Amino acid sequence: MSTVALQTLPCGADAAKRLATRLGLACGEIAVHRFPDGELRVAVAPATDTTILYASLDQPNDKLVALLFAAEALRRNGAKRLVLVAPYLCYMRQDAAFHAGEAISQRAMGNLLATTVDRVVTVDAHLHRTPDIRSIFPGIEAENLSAMPAIANALATGGIDPATVVIGPDTESEPWVKDVASRLRLQHTAARKTRHGDRSVAISFADPGLLAGRPALLVDDIVSSGTTLMAAAKALTAMGATAVDAVVTHALFPPAMIAAFAEAGIRSIRSTDSVPHPTNAISLDEILAAALRSELTATHLPETTT
């Protein structure tokens, strides 16, 4: 009978262990040692026929090297199928060369991972103009899950004012803002964003009257610099929102910025556990487990006999 287990890079091990428990799998931690010159030594737990590799790829460069080394060791030691679970998937932003000489990081990352693993599972990948994540990874399986069911369930469980308006900080956020709002039976709208630079944006709303005297909930897929979120919060407060809260899938901003968010008028900010962060309040293990249960049936592998 084919065997399945989960192994995780050290960062994110707590979330990986919760996922393994939900799936009823053993969870081994991949050992990563850094030499004085910066090179890495990687050691994996014993390989299984199918090995699920858990690696949230924020601060990605060292993690990518560790992942490549782990995959080499697992393949050499008998793993027939490698499944990468990357709740946050790096280098997806740049899907085109906007200036002469620029690398297309999405294409390079897709080709690299497609030669390393057999399946990629991620959450709310930052895809912009790429409608189907499978086109990024030639020849392998790939799924881009939505965190919105988990976010909506957490908000409903914690209780939410029915007068709340769900806000997208830009037009790109419209699909997931609409999803969360419909699940919670709330009104929603998306802002118009004009970017003047990496840390300078202007935010406006088509219907400012919708927000006056009501609480606002900002929903976004990723927050790194925090510029857009803070600009949106200030605009909402100026339009008369009684409170501004925020929930994001991927919290990539430094924890020290939480104070700056509060100064900008954000009462609370919560994130999923896609990236380990002090704002983590929403677990993704249920949606990830649902996507991975097919691996437990071993339909991808021939059965072995004893």
* Same structural domain, 28 and 157: no
Q: Which residue has the higher pLDDT, 1 or 131?
A: 131
Task: Report if residue 175 sits inside a domain.
Answer: yes
**Element at 233 (helix H, strand E):** helix 227-238
Mean pLDDT confidence for 95-100: 88
User: Could you give the residue numbers annotated as active site?
Assistant: 193
Task: Report if residue 50 sits inside a domain.
Answer: yes
Q: Which residue has the higher pLDDT, 231 or 280?
A: 280
pLDDT value at position 294? Answer: 94
pLDDT value at position 196? Answer: 52
The DSSP-derived string for 240-299 is T-SEEEEEEEEE-S-GGGHHHHHHTT--EEEEETTS--TTEEE--HHHHHHHHGGGGGTT
Three-class SS of residue 172? Answer: helix
Of the pLDDT bands very low, low, confident and very high (cuts 50, 70, 90), residue 303 is: very low
- pLDDT tens-digit series, residues 107-129: 999 999 999 999 999 999 988 78
* Same structural domain, 213 and 289: no
* Average pLDDT of every residue of the chain: 91
The single-letter code of the amino acid at 186 is L
Which tokens in the block code for residue 52?
């699920």
* Same structural domain, 290 and 277: no
Task: Report if residue 302 sits inside a domain.
Answer: no
* Same structural domain, 132 and 184: no
Calculate the CA 216 to chain-centre distance. 23
pLDDT value at position 305? Answer: 42
* Same structural domain, 133 and 11: yes
Q: Return d(Cα 234, Cα 241) in angstroms, integer.
A: 10
* Same structural domain, 88 and 179: no
Of the pLDDT bands very low, low, confident and very high (cuts 50, 70, 90), residue 23 is: very high
pLDDT value at position 266? Answer: 96
Mean pLDDT confidence for 31-43: 97
Report the domain count for the chain. 2
Query: Which own/partner pairs from 71-75 qualify as long-range (CB within 8 Å, at least 24 positions apart)?
Result: 71/116, 71/117, 73/42, 73/43, 73/44, 73/47, 74/7, 74/44, 74/47, 75/47
Which tokens in the block code for residue 180?
């969360």
pLDDT value at position 151? Answer: 97
Task: Report if residue 128 sits inside a domain.
Answer: yes
* Same structural domain, 159 and 274: yes
Task: Report if residue 234 sits inside a domain.
Answer: yes
* Same structural domain, 153 and 142: no
* Same structural domain, 198 and 107: no
Q: Return d(Cα 273, Cα 183) in angstroms, integer.
A: 21
- pLDDT tens-digit series, residues 67-92: 999 999 999 999 999 999 999 999 99
Task: For the chain, list the strands marked E by DSSP.
Answer: 4-8, 27-29, 31-34, 40-43, 50-54, 81-86, 119-123, 141-145, 165-168, 187-190, 192-197, 200-204, 215-223, 243-251, 268-272, 280-282
Mean pLDDT confidence for 10-37: 96
Residue with tokens 């990629």: 120
- pLDDT tens-digit series, residues 161-213: 999 999 988 888 888 899 999 999 999 998 877 665 555 667 777 777 888 99
Of the pLDDT bands very low, low, confident and very high (cuts 50, 70, 90), residue 2 is: confident
Calculate the CA 81 to chain-centre distance. 23
Q: What is the domain-level CATH number for residue 169?
A: 3.40.50.2020
Mean pLDDT confidence for 136-161: 95
Mean pLDDT confidence for 301-306: 44
Q: Of the ranges 127-131, 226-230, 270-274, which one carries the lowest mean pLDDT score?
A: 127-131
Task: Report if residue 142 sits inside a domain.
Answer: yes
Instruction: Please answer whether residues 42 and 32 qualify as being in contact, where contact means their C-beta atoms are separated by less than 8 angstroms.
Output: yes
Is the pLDDT at 301 greater than 80, yes or no?
no
pLDDT value at position 306? Answer: 38
Mean pLDDT confidence for 89-97: 90
Instruction: Give the global pTM.
Output: 0.91
Beta strand 215-223 with 165-168 is: parallel
Burial class, 105, CB count within 10 angstroms (exposed 0-12 / middle 13-18 / buried 19+): middle
Quick one: what percent of the chain has pLDDT higher than 90?
Answer: 76
* Same structural domain, 139 and 179: no
Residue span of the structural domain in which 212 resides: 148-281
The single-letter code of the amino acid at 292 is L
* Same structural domain, 211 and 268: yes
142 has which bridge partners? 120
